[in-house]
Amino acid sequence: MVATKHGIAHAFSQRQVQALERTTHRGRDWTDAVQKAALDLLATGKTSELSSTERSRLKQRIRSSEIGALAGQILRDRVSLRRASSSEVKSRFIPVSASELGLSGGGGLGVLVAKDASRVARRARLGLDDSGDIVVVEGDEDHRQVLEALALYTYGDSRECSAAAHWIAAARKAV
């Protein structure tokens, strides 16, 4: 979470507070291997990252966790918020899964998923902004749909959050 410091006080953007409220979880943070395995399971239903016992435990955790806790575990240390310099630039970052989620193509939150997302965001001239309109997520193309849904759930408006929650719930059941 990013805060702006004013004297001795810290100010948080509404989007950051909303994300924190939606993604709180208890317990230890997942390791990178567990995060990747969870993404594999949600995207394809299988993973080779963990042993069979660990995989079985993770599947149970995915099915029983609240969506916000799952989003918090997977998106941790992968996300930054950026602001597009124009609506033309923003239109390049409409989530690929928007139509599948039942969302219209414009006006909402943009999502950029890339292996080196920070570099791609700088090239696209997306400025860092903790109340930005584009969520930049570090991740593999294989996990794009899951990462977009988790980003929309966490940072999107109520319509985007609801649509993403339905998609994530269906993906959790399929695990």
Average pLDDT of the chain? 87
pLDDT at 147 over 60: yes
What is the model's pLDDT at position 1?
A: 46
**What's the whole-model pTM score?**
0.86
pLDDT at 11 over 70: no
Structure token pair of residue 102: 């039942």
Q: Are 132 and 83 in contact (CB under 8 A)?
A: yes
Pick the more confident residue, 10 or 134.
134
12-27 pLDDT per residue, tens: 666 666 666 677 767 7
82-109 pLDDT per residue, tens: 998 888 888 889 888 888 888 876 668 9
Rg (alpha carbons) of the chain, rounded to whole number: 16
What is the model's pLDDT at position 115?
A: 95
**CA atoms of 58 and 4, how far apart (whole Å):** 36
Pick the more confident residue, 101 or 113.
113
Rounded mean pLDDT of 37-59? 95
Q: What are phi and psi of 17, to 5 degrees?
A: -65, -45
What is the model's pLDDT at position 75?
A: 92
